[in-house]
Amino acid sequence: MKQTNRRLSLAAIAAAAMLAMAGSNEAVAADKAAAAPQPNIVHILADDLGWQDLACYYRALHGKDSIYETPNLDRLARDGRRFMQAYSPAPTCSPSRAAYMAGQWTTHTGVVHVMGGLPPRAYNEGFAAINPFYPARLDMTTPTIARVLKNAGYQTAHIAKWHLGGRSNGYPAPVDYGFDLGWFGNVRGTPYNDPELWDMNDKKTADFNGLWAVMKPNRITGFPDSHQPTERYALDEDDDDRPFDSVVNLVVRWMDKTKDQGQPMFVNFCPFFVHGPISARDRKRLEHYCQKMGLPFPTDPGRINDKTQGQVNPYYAAMIDALDWQVGKVIKFLETTDDPRNPGHKLIDNTYIIFSSDNGGCTGLPITDGKDKGKSEAVADNSPLRGGKQTVFEGGIRIPFIVRGPGVPADSVCDTPVSLIDLFPTFMALAGGSRPVGLDLDGCNILPLFHGADQPARFADGRARDTLYWHYPIVIPASSIIRKGGWKLILNHAPEQNNMPPVQLFQLYNEDGGVSDLGETKDLAEANPSKRDELLADLKSWLARYDAPMPYKNAGKTSKPLPHADQVPAILKRGSTGDRVQVEFETGPGKAKVVEARFIYTANGSDLLREGSGAEEWFEAPAILRDGVATATAAPGMTHGIFCLRDENNFLITSEPLGVEVRGESAAKGVKDGYAYRPGLVALIRCADSAARNAKVAGLNAGALAKEMEAARKVVAQPVEEASYAAAIRNLRRAIRALSVPEARLPELNQFESAKW
């Protein structure tokens, strides 16, 4: 991804943010607001919650009550503002969460789906399309909401689901992106990094998953029935026999501790609800929803209802109920707790609560136990929207979005389209500062919309936004989306795989704002070619601007022959000289032209460089394409690398065969060459040479570094052998990182935090 020049250094961001605190340009009106201290910000980001899973949304859409009961979220809407056209940046969680945290499109962050950081391989030999390479993590140098708010004087906490760090041992964790309290806390073996709040010996409160934890041996066993206060899920008689939940308990305890520190709070509370597995630890609520749906209490953990349409799953209903209860616990604390920074007021008086979801509702999931094991059961009902999670239709990207806070009109509705990426600039405005100079955000400050304006969202330069974009190049959908005004166009990058039209055009809303086709039932691509071509050109321009990763066609065995597969160039030769690696490929008559080269690599492709549950993770490095040859420079410490070439017909050619994807298996172990070890060690020795020179200038003792450099030079002169080369890489990298020199801070040398790094 071509991102480096778009990012500021953390030091620059910190300096810019501090300078920017001079005052806001927003007309949030009010002497009263101006007199109040910086407001607290609580963002509750639910997981897989559908657009109409909230009773207040369902009621507004259907004119009747829903099966699900969400009294706390309904009250939040009555006391605040409900957004009817709010969107997630992607139809799955990781890209949405990374985009929200960075205030950028997924094409800008590079994170386009979950579980990235792996070489591009077909799911199986029959697939016609292959996912592009994409990173597993948000770049650690990215300015984040947490960093900017922390620089503005906020205490910051991320609690519960993260899912935008890397593949290895929970690193990088929230604290690595600027949070004071965070998941895994960047302390190996410690889920949270505040010993005052997280005592590993207290099995009741130190329960990372809380009520969402998987029930064992299945979902109709393990219901709590004890009122003993020390029990893990003890029932609370004063709270309608609700089971204790360690997750929301931690949220409340952190706010209670932080309120007395004289600083505003930013809480990024990300419940695990209502992501699968679909189960309900609260027996009382499960019984309640079984009764509402006219179903007997289950005696088998399989499917409980054969209906597939509507709100038909009592397990899912109980999970939504639990999520609503968590929200209620947060609101109750804010409403009943005095605000030390604002005497005479409760915390709620100076707190903005934002509730949203990371993507649309998941419409179906496989059953894990019982008579229906392996079969699918209905989950969310997104109607009248089409599709759900992992689709590019409205059901996959439209989300509930509610705001309550100072100046937010009660019981109001906003129909302006907004996105989670808008929260970054909006939170900056709430903090009281203008936009730091050079900060590259794609979102808009929607604080005026919070405060009741019914107008387009506006960029920092005052331009009205009329267009939203999405890029989800992942098989099966493998599509990009543009929504402009009431129109939506879907560009399908893999029609050979998903059998969907190459381009689809829908009119969601009429010119007057009235609903036209929310269900995306009428494809107008052929009937309205001028609008189709206008939106298609705009979308392609946006994709090109960010060098968006595109899916490949599979040059291997597929279920049906693909045109031009016989023109795919073959690999002729691989080789390396020092830290320079290259691959030669066929050119000339009868062979398609290679138009793109990417080089991906891993620095932990050996078990000797990983530990515990750490997983192999791959990154991208620059590659040069010229005259039938692709070249790249090995990253310092690289253990394995692969060239990914694209020909003019979009077929993938790799520098050596990779086979199909096998989850959990090392990709590095599956390659025969992989430019293994030597180029990466040579690059690391060059890095060490530079570090030694800088250490000398700084007057530092580099004796340990010199010793490891000598040992590494002896190893690199020998034939490649995993144990000796991995040890040399590990030891030399440690010696560089031990010194206060610029090389010690290189991203390539800091991709992981573990005993072996």
Read off the pTM.
0.93
**Blockwise average pLDDT, block size 10, the chain, 757 residues:** 35 35 37 72 98 97 96 98 98 98 98 95 91 96 95 96 83 94 72 90 92 94 92 95 97 98 98 96 97 97 93 98 98 98 97 98 94 94 96 98 98 98 97 80 97 94 96 97 98 96 98 96 98 98 97 93 96 98 97 98 94 82 97 98 98 94 83 97 98 98 98 98 97 98 97 86
* CA 168 to centroid of chain Cα atoms: 16
CA distance linking residue 343 with residue 37, whole number of Å:
11
Beta bridge partners of 585: 571
H or E element that contains 355: strand 351-357
Query: Distance of CA 515 to CAs 61, 263, 339, 519, Å?
Result: 11, 44, 43, 10
Residue 252 burial (CB count, 10 A): 17
Nearest to 232 by CA among 240, 585, 223: 223
State phi, psi for 316 to the nearest 5 degrees: -65, -40
Here the tokens at position 295 are 């179903």
Q: Name the burial class of residue 630, with classes exposed (0-12), middle (13-18) and buried (19+) by CB atoms within 10 angstroms of its CB.
A: buried
pLDDT at position 437, please? 74
pLDDT at position 166, please? 85
* Strand pairing category for 155-160 and 265-270: parallel
Cβ atoms of residues 123 and 475 within 8 Å = yes
Task: Please tell me the number of Cα atoms within 13 Å of 8 on its side-chain side.
Answer: 19
For residue 490, the SS3 value is strand
Q: H helices within 221-313, ranges in order?
A: 246-258, 283-292
Give the helix, strand, coil percentages of the chain, each rounded to 5: 30, 20, 50
Beta bridge partners of 575: 582
The owner of tokens 């890489």 is 729
pLDDT at position 1, please? 39
How many residues can be counted in the chain? 757
The owner of tokens 């250490």 is 695
The owner of tokens 């530079």 is 690
Query: Distance of CA 10 to CAs 23, 54, 423, 443, 694, Å?
Result: 22, 39, 20, 20, 22
